[in-house]
Amino acid sequence: MADHGSAKRIEAALALRFGERVRVDPDLAGLDEIARIAAHRVHRRYIERAVDPDLVRLLCACALSAPSKSDLQQADILILRDRSKIAAIAALIPDMPWIAQAPVFLVFLANGRRLRRIFEIRGQDFPNDHLDQFFNAVSDASIVLATFLRAAGAVGLGACPISVIRDHAAEVSDMLELPARVIPLAGMTVGWPAEAGGVTARLDLACTLHEDRYVEGDLAARLDAYDHRRAAARPYARQRAPERWGTAPFYGWSEDKARQYGVPQRPDFGAFVRARGFCLD
């Protein structure tokens, strides 16, 4: 049976997201799930309602059901229930108060330890101690994180990934007693949303969707169009670090990102990863 309602919701969400119409066949199966993905939004405010631990465990199991590179299973999820530890992480990131307020806080881990331990248990040398193992573990953890977001949204929960915990990777690792070759990829707050949230505009598909070969095109023009389309829907409330960069007459996404990454961010992260036992050569 044709699902015209879901098809229209998908088209509307993607029009907001990309500024163009993406045609949807109402006879496709699974449009309700596609509609949730197309309209994905981050939630940082939650009502005062607990999330059942069994539900959290179910969603984690679903997330860990995600594809894994070569079935190596190099991702873990740490459910942080100790409110004092959550408060300590929140204190490291004071501009994200929702960390302390959320009913659930998770940490997604890239685990390169378990595979090495298998080789020790089997009495074999490990011949793949190089960058690809780290890359595989991070990729697995990223896929698990994305799958958790999808599962949480399916039951009506809201979530917000917290990649900035990598600014404090050593402190967080010590706090969570992470062993060698296990590193935090990102945290995540989870709870029942206090508000609907909004769809965040993305770069035009002409920038990020390619066929047969990579085509950059006139990137400056595409960025300018995107900046204005995004600002029309949801302008930035304030400009980043005006005391350093001044005040721009028009402030769009590309200016914000240039300012954000105009200062060093995590320049010591490679040293941290190596100190945790990963080889990045």
| Domain co-membership, 108 together with 244 | no
| Domain co-membership, 147 together with 227 | no
Pick the closest to residue 235 from 248, 218, 219, 221 (CA basis): 248
* 142 part of a folded domain: yes
Q: Which helix (H) or strand (E) holds 174?
A: helix 169-175
Q: What is the distance between the alpha carbons of residues 68 and 212, in angstroms, rounded to a whole number? A: 26
Q: What is the distance between the alpha carbons of residues 42 and 29, in angstroms, rounded to a whole number? A: 26
| Domain co-membership, 14 together with 122 | no
Query: Is residue 106 within 8 Å of 77, Cβ to Cβ?
Result: yes
| Domain co-membership, 78 together with 185 | yes
| Domain co-membership, 61 together with 188 | yes
* 267 part of a folded domain: no
| Domain co-membership, 82 together with 172 | yes
| Domain co-membership, 33 together with 106 | no
Q: Tell me, what's the pLDDT at 151? A: 97
* 276 part of a folded domain: no
pLDDT tens for each residue of the chain, 281 residues long: 789 999 999 999 999 999 999 999 999 999 999 999 999 999 999 999 999 999 999 999 999 999 999 999 999 999 999 999 999 999 999 999 999 999 999 999 999 999 999 999 999 999 999 999 999 999 999 999 999 999 999 999 999 999 999 999 999 999 999 999 999 999 999 999 999 989 999 999 999 999 999 999 999 999 999 999 999 999 999 999 999 999 999 999 999 999 999 999 999 999 999 999 999 99
| Domain co-membership, 66 together with 169 | yes
Q: Which helix (H) or strand (E) holds 182?
A: strand 182-191
Pick the closest to residue 37 from 14, 61, 64, 68 (CA basis): 14
Range of 210's domain? 205-260
* 272 part of a folded domain: no
* 141 part of a folded domain: yes
Pick the closest to residue 176 from 84, 80, 262 (CA basis): 80
Q: Tell me, what's the pLDDT at 269? A: 95
* 27 part of a folded domain: yes
Domain closes at, from 173, 197, 221: 197
| Domain co-membership, 192 together with 59 | yes
Q: Tell me, what's the pLDDT at 103? A: 97
* 271 part of a folded domain: no
Pick the closest to residue 185 from 63, 59, 46, 56 (CA basis): 63
The CATH number that applies at residue 67 is 3.40.109.10
Domain closes at, from 149, 164, 197: 197
| Domain co-membership, 111 together with 219 | no
Query: Is residue 43 within 8 Å of 159, Cβ to Cβ?
Result: yes
* 44 part of a folded domain: no
pTM here? Answer: 0.95
Q: How many domains does the chain have?
A: 3
| Domain co-membership, 178 together with 62 | yes
List the structure tokens of 240: 């980043």
| Domain co-membership, 180 together with 245 | no
Q: Tell me, what's the pLDDT at 1? A: 78
